[in-house]
Amino acid sequence: MSNKGQTSYFYDVIWSRFRVNRFALAGAVVVILMFMVALLAPLISPHDPAAIDAYHILLPPSLDHWMGTDDLGRDVLSRMMHGAGISLMVGFVAIGIAIVIGTVVGLLAGYYSGWADAVLMRFVDIMLCFPTLFLILAVIALLEPSIWYIMIIIGLTGWMGVARLVRAEVLSIRERDYVLAARSIGASDLRIIFRHILPNVMGPVLVSATLGVAGAILTESALSFLGIGVQPPTPSWGNILSAGKEFIEFAWWLSLFPGLAIMVTVLSYYLVGEGIRDALDPRLNR
């Protein structure tokens, strides 16, 4: 009972629709490039990101230092390259947590409906009331700032949208004939949920995961900017920018490059996410 062939056909169709979307394709290229930079940072970064050089502080961009040096004489490009990994890791782990929680809550609420649905969705409503940044700040400040807490708390405060989305999908999917068929041959609830319903909600989940990574990268950089995110000397785009703000009058490169990097990365994830959404739902385009 394999449906591998059909699945790959499905992805072929999605890919062929995605491919013709130039914005989305450009976003995907940037995303892949960023990944390569992050993975290869130790090999390709021109300098040691932690090497302090008192004779070369706050140098403007040059051939030796493409993005200049910071107030401790460290090479900004090398720090940016090492920071890329941190930013991407925070984005992916945080959204991974959010997706898992959101999907499980949405599946349970949508499939069982009744009081389970009522309780879970009221919980979602309550969580949605809090200004997310307030919750994150409170938790991180109370437990020491650390990159693990940041990833976990961004995940724990970011799953509600996914839960709502999945629930809405499940509500319509569970009425389909194939679910009825599965039930009539005696499939257990768990099997129906994970084998028959889950694969059909993965599309929209993938879209919100992609958009979510963009949001998580922004949140991490905002926290690092406020000084309660990734702690120096570990470089992250947010804390490079934060350190640079004091020198903006005579060292613009310290703020500009991390700012641009965040923007381009967030934009790319967003374009990819929108591209997947349009590819999944051809009604909206074409």
Interface with other proteins, residue 133, by CB under 8 A: yes
Angle ∠(6,9,11) on CA atoms, nearest 5 = 115
- Cβ–Cβ under 8 Å, residues 265 and 217: yes
Rg (CA), the chain: 22
Q: Between 92 and 123, whose beta carbon lies closer to other proteins?
A: 123
Residue choice 52, 135, 187, 206 for contact with other proteins (CB under 8 A): 135
Measured from the CB atom, the residue of 9 and 130 that comes closer to other proteins is 130
Can you tell me whether residue 250 is helix, strand or coil? coil
Residue 54 near other proteins by CB under 8 A = no
Query: What is the smallest separation between the CB atom of 120 and other proteins, expressed in angstroms?
Result: 12
b (16+ CB within 10 A) / e for 75-111: bbbbbbbbbbbbbbebbbbbbbbbbebbbbbbbbbbb
Angle (deg, nearest 10), helices 132-142 and 147-156: 150
In the complex, least distance from residue 244 CB atom to other proteins, rounded to whole angstroms: 8
Q: How many residues bind other proteins (CB under 8 A)?
A: 44
Nearer to other proteins, 55 or 115 (CB): 115
- Quick count: other Cβ atoms within 10 Å of Cβ 68? 22
| Residue closer to other proteins, measured from CB, 108 or 217 | 217
Compute, in degrees rounded to 10, the torsion defined by CA atoms 152, 156, 157, 163. 140
134 interacts with other proteins by CB under 8 A: yes
Stretch touching other proteins by CB under 8 A, among 8-16, 62-70, 94-102, 217-225: 217-225
Cβ atoms of 157 and 143 closer than 8 Å:
no
Residue 123 CA to residue 63 CA, distance in Å, equals 55
**Residue ranges in 242-271 that form contacts with other proteins under rule CB under 8 A:** 245, 248-249, 252, 255-256, 258-259, 262-264, 266-267, 270-271
Beta carbon of residue 49, minimum distance to other proteins (angstroms, whole number): 21
CA distance 241 to 249: 14
Residue of 29, 32, 100, 143 interacting with other proteins (CB under 8 A): 143
Stretch that binds other proteins, among 30-38, 131-139, 165-173, 189-197 (CB under 8 A): 131-139
Distances from the Cα of 16 to the Cαs of 21, 135, 201, 280, in angstroms?
Answer: 9, 41, 20, 11
Name residues contacting other proteins, limited to 86-125 (CB under 8 A): 122-123, 125
Among the listed ranges 87-95, 99-107, 108-116, 220-228, the one in contact with other proteins (CB under 8 A) is 220-228
Beta bridge partner(s), residue 69: 75
Contact positions toward other proteins, by CB under 8 A? 23, 122-123, 125-135, 137-139, 141-143, 214, 218, 221-222, 225-226, 238, 241, 245, 248-249, 252, 255-256, 258-259, 262-264, 266-267, 270-271, 284
